[in-house]
Structures are given as C-alpha cells and as structure tokens.
C-alpha cells in the first residue's frame, strides 16, 4: 500500500479504478439506469465538479498559501517556487479552468437551459436559470482572466518568456491582482451554482 501511495500516478489510477468499480456496482447491483439524457447529465456534472475542485482549489492555494508566504521565503529558495512549483500548478490551474467551462456548457446544453441561463432567465424562466446563469457568467469571466490575463503575465513574472525587469515586476502585480479578483468572484460563483441546484 505504501508503494502505491508514494506514487501519484498509481494513486490516481487506483482512485479512477475504484470510481469505475463503484459505478459498475451501482449499475449492476442497484436498480440499474438507462444511458439517456439523465446519465449524460450526471457524467458531465461529475466531470464539471471534479475539474472545478482542481481549478478553485489551486486558485485558493495561490491566494491563501503561496502569495502571502512568498515574502517569508529566503531569496535563494524562491527559484524552486518560481521555476518548478508555480509552472506545474499553473498548468493544472489553466486547463482545469478550461475543462470546467467546457463541461459546464455541455451540461447546460444537455439539460436544455444553456440559452436561458446565458440570458439570466430574462426569457421568463427566471429562478433557477437566473441563479445558474449568474454562476456561469462569473465562471466565464474567471476563466477569461486565467487564460488571457493571469497566464500571460505569469509567464513573464516567472521568466518563462523574456521581458525587461520592470515589465516582469508589473506582470507579477497584474497576475496577482487578477488572481485576487478571481478569488473575490469565487464564492458568489459557487453560491449561485449551488443555489441553482438546491433552492429551486
């Protein structure tokens, strides 16, 4: 067991295998279910939640752990963060954001509310579509910030692309401010999405 848990790859593969076994158990030993719209809705909701946990979890890691503690790290140790940990975290961060948005839009399309949600329920559907629509728009704004503001500026700040020292400093500040903006939007986004699922 120790050898499994010491390997992230093995741990993730076994976790996936257990999830598949659980799914098969629920299918064959429960009442069963059809591979219909309800199934595809469940599948894309599962994907949506898993990647959203990765995305928002990393967003909060950056804002609650990495950024506040960087000034406390000795200068000679900072390259380990900037050259190794941050680029790896940003890889999962930006792709989790993209897959969260894509799976969420597919989920909305499968369930037939993508248009009503995107117009915030102003077609008269209101309620649930207004709530989920607010969450979707906040998520889209946050994903835009990730791909078109935070990531381009982080590449400069981390020295992944060449730039002048003053531009590097300015890029680090811009990336931090937009990351903090996403943190500000994260709770309203999550609240509206959970409200849409549970209050209507």
Q: What is the pLDDT of residue 146?
A: 98
Whether 131 and 199 have beta carbons less than 8 Å apart is answered as yes
Provide the residue count of the chain: 200
CA–CA gap between residue 122 and residue 69 (Å, rounded) = 44
Distance of CA 90 to the CA centre of its chain: 11
Instruction: Report pLDDT digits (tens) over 49-98.
Output: 999 999 999 999 999 999 999 999 998 998 898 899 999 999 999 999 99
Instruction: Report pLDDT digits (tens) over 4-17.
Output: 999 999 999 999 99
User: CA-based angle 121:140:126, to the nearest 5?
Assistant: 10
Place of tokens 């949506």: 48
> Residue 42: which pLDDT band, with cuts at 50, 70 and 90?
very high
Whether 127 and 84 have beta carbons less than 8 Å apart is answered as no
Q: Half-sphere exposure of 66 toward its Cβ, with a 13 Å CA cutoff?
A: 19
Q: What is the pLDDT of residue 34?
A: 86
> Residue 19: which pLDDT band, with cuts at 50, 70 and 90?
very high
Q: What is the pLDDT of residue 27?
A: 87
Backbone angles phi, psi at 36, to 5 degrees: -115, -160
Instruction: Report pLDDT digits (tens) over 123-180.
Output: 999 899 999 999 999 999 999 999 999 999 999 999 999 999 899 999 999 999 999 9
Q: What is the pLDDT of residue 59?
A: 98
Q: What is the pLDDT of residue 46?
A: 97
Mean pLDDT of 181-200: 96
Beta carbons within 8 Å of 109's beta carbon, 6+ residues apart:
none
Residue 82 token pair: 């900037």
Q: What is the pLDDT of residue 169?
A: 93
Mean pLDDT of 13-29: 94
Q: What is the pLDDT of residue 100?
A: 98
CA–CA gap between residue 99 and residue 40 (Å, rounded) = 16
Whether 174 and 149 have beta carbons less than 8 Å apart is answered as yes
Whether 108 and 56 have beta carbons less than 8 Å apart is answered as no
């Amino acid at each position: 067991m120790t050898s499994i848990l010491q390997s992230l790859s093995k741990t993730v593969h076994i976790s996936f295998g257990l999830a598949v076994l659980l799914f098969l158990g629920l299918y064959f030993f429960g009442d069963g279910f059809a591979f219909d719209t309800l199934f595809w809705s469940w599948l894309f909701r599962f994907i949506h939640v898993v990647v959203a946990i990765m995305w928002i979890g990393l967003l909060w890691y950056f804002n609650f752990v990495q950024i506040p503690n960087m000034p406390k790290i000795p200068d000679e140790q900072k390259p380990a963060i900037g050259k190794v940990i941050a680029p790896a975290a940003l890889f999962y961060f930006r792709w989790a954001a993209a897959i969260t948005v894509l799976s969420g839009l597919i989920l909305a399309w499968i369930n037939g509310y993508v248009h009503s949600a995107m117009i915030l329920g102003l077609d008269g559907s209101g309620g649930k579509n207004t709530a989920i629509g607010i969450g979707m728009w906040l998520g889209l704004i946050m994903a835009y910030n990730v791909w078109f503001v935070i990531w381009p500026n982080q590449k400069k700040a981390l020295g992944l692309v060449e730039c002048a020292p003053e531009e590097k400093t300015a890029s680090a500040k811009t990336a931090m401010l937009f990351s903090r903006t996403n943190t500000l939007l994260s709770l309203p986004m999550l609240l509206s999405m959970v409200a849409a699922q549970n209050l209507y």
